Structure 1
Amino acid sequence: MNTFIKNVNSLMKMHSDGILGGEIMPEDVLIDVVKEDELMDVITLAMALNYQRNAYTLWKSVVQAYQDPVTNWIFSPTLVVNRNIDELREALLLHRVGLQPNRHPVIWHRVAKGIFESSDKGNVEGLIKCVHSDIALLKEIMQGDRKSDFPYLSGPKIFNYWLYVLETYTNVSWKSRELITIAPDTHVLKATVKLGLCSEEVLNGGADDRQTVATAWEIALAGSGIAPIDVHTPLWLWSRAGFPPLMD
């Protein structure tokens, strides 16, 4: 086993042993709160707002909006597409699910409409059933034919992490799971550099840099039995923890 894969395995073991912290992940607040048949919609719509904020704060706001009978309709694509943008704006801002009064309601409505029109059931579960849980087919829709209907969510960073979150928190079982690439956010970029897989140049964080990191992980893990997305959370927590030394 080469040194790099040994270090990756060490990092994953540190995560599984709880050494990196993160026993409570941001999305964990949804557990036992959101109904199982609504969870996919809640996750998907909330993740569509580009995620450029503290994830723990975002998901707490989502739970507050979900539990409030005045605002919980925002997580139903069918209801969203039948409400006007002013009503949606007010509901999104009430619990700070949305922060940008003009941009966020437009994005939320567009994604809800994209889900509604791509699914025979008008929701995310129906969309996934339409593609038979096949990531390759889902990519064709969300990153191809209907990309404009899924702003941000269709981008490589959020799209791949979205697939991972759905797999982790709902009952979806993906076909072509190897197509879920790593989701290179700031913490993942820093951890990738720390492991020596990429140079510090990728820390600029541009689209090309993120693609470089995602590709580097695909190549590095090929044949290792480790799926790229499976190292996302260990890398993220390792960076947040200040890079404690890897165990031997």
Structure 2
Amino acid sequence: MNQELLNKLEHLTEIYKSGYWGSNVPEDTRPKNLDPNSEENAIFYTLPTALDYQRNSTTLWKSATATFEDNETSFVFNPQEVMNKDFIEVQAALTKYSLALQKNKQTQIWIRLCQTLVNNFNGKVTDFFAYFDNDIQKVRHYMQVERKKDFPYLSGKKLCNYWLYVMYQYTNLPLINTDQIYIAADRHIIRATHKLGLITDEEVESTKVQDYVIKAWIEALKGTNYVPIDFQSALWLWSRNGFKEEL
């Protein structure tokens, strides 16, 4: 591990914790009084993630929170209730606060995920993880290899790792093999990785840039006490704030 890089990462972490860039990573926008041990919390951080594709993440989580807190629309966070409603009712609830922007496609995605949970895991995200011994590697393999079509969008390379990161960060699930949660290579993480010199100019323009970013962070942190997701929020905010630094 390059000591200069490690010093830089620790410095960025200090800036992040100081609140200099603001404390708001998108997922911090959430309903009040959500118990991190609860199924309610786990489902809140699961279903909207599948709709986080080419859109503003902060707006997504604000929409999710508004939908969750409205008694008329909160049923969409109960997979069994979703299965008991017709498509139009679910669609109306998901579009009321613009949680679903593509009203047909994203309603279908939401319903399919609920169907997967109801049919296989008692409608519960916590039971899903428990079935796989709360093991990150087993969960990812099931989602991305064995039953990819049962998890539309959520099984994608970027979103799956982002979701696992969110579950690690915002729930109290007793997850194991968390060092196998790759960094979620969205545009801000890609920019920050390039800024730090961990990927080349050529790689940043490649269609395989996410693979390069994931590999770069695994290699960079080998032999340290850190795992890539330890720096997710700091790197994301650093990039989002134009790489401004001060402490």
| CA gap 1:204/1:114 in 2 versus in 1, 3 angstroms | farther
- Which residue does the alignment assign to 1:89? 91
- Determine if the alignment matches structure 1 residue 138 to structure 2 residue 139: yes
- Which residue does the alignment assign to 2:184? 183
Matched residues, number: 244
- Which residue does the alignment assign to 2:28? 28
Aligned residue identity for 1:170: T
Give the secondary-structure state (helix, strand or coil) at the position aligned to 1:175.
coil
Deviation readout 1:169-213 (Å, 9 max, x if unpaired)? 21113111111000010001111110011013344473x211111
Provide the identity percentage.
36
- Which residue does the alignment assign to 2:123? 122
| CA gap 1:246/1:227 in 2 versus in 1, 3 angstroms | farther
Give the RMSD, CA atoms, in angstroms: 1.8
TM-score by length of 1: 0.91
d(CA) in 2 for partners of 1:175, 1:185: 24
Aligned residue identity for 2:14: K
d(CA) in 1 for partners of 2:81, 2:203: 41
Counterparts of 1:104-119 in structure 2, within 5 Å, are 104-119=106-121
Give the secondary-structure state (helix, strand or coil) at the position aligned to 1:242.
coil
Contact 2:25 2:237 in 1 (8 A): no
d(CA) in 2 for partners of 1:94, 1:144: 34
More displaced stretch, 23-32 vs 122-131: 23-32
- Which residue does the alignment assign to 1:196? 197
- Residue 51 of structure 1 deviates from its aligned partner by 3.4
| CA gap 1:159/1:202 in 2 versus in 1, 3 angstroms | same
d(CA) in 1 for partners of 2:148, 2:216: 25
Aligned residue identity for 2:78: S
d(CA) in 2 for partners of 1:51, 1:85: 22
TM-score by length of 2: 0.92
Aligned residue identity for 1:232: Q
Contact 2:31 2:65 in 1 (8 A): no
- Determine if the alignment matches structure 1 residue 7 to structure 2 residue 2: no
Runs of 4+ in 1 over 4 A off after TM superposition: none
- Determine if the alignment matches structure 1 residue 157 to structure 2 residue 137: no
Give the secondary-structure state (helix, strand or coil) at the position aligned to 1:238.
helix
Contact 1:29 1:63 in 2 (8 A): yes
- Which residue does the alignment assign to 1:236? 236
d(CA) in 2 for partners of 1:220, 1:246: 24
Contact 2:25 2:233 in 1 (8 A): no
Task: Could you tell me which runs of 5 or more consecutive residues in structure 2 were left unpaired when the two chains were aligned.
Answer: none
d(CA) in 2 for partners of 1:63, 1:191: 28
| CA gap 1:13/1:205 in 2 versus in 1, 3 angstroms | farther
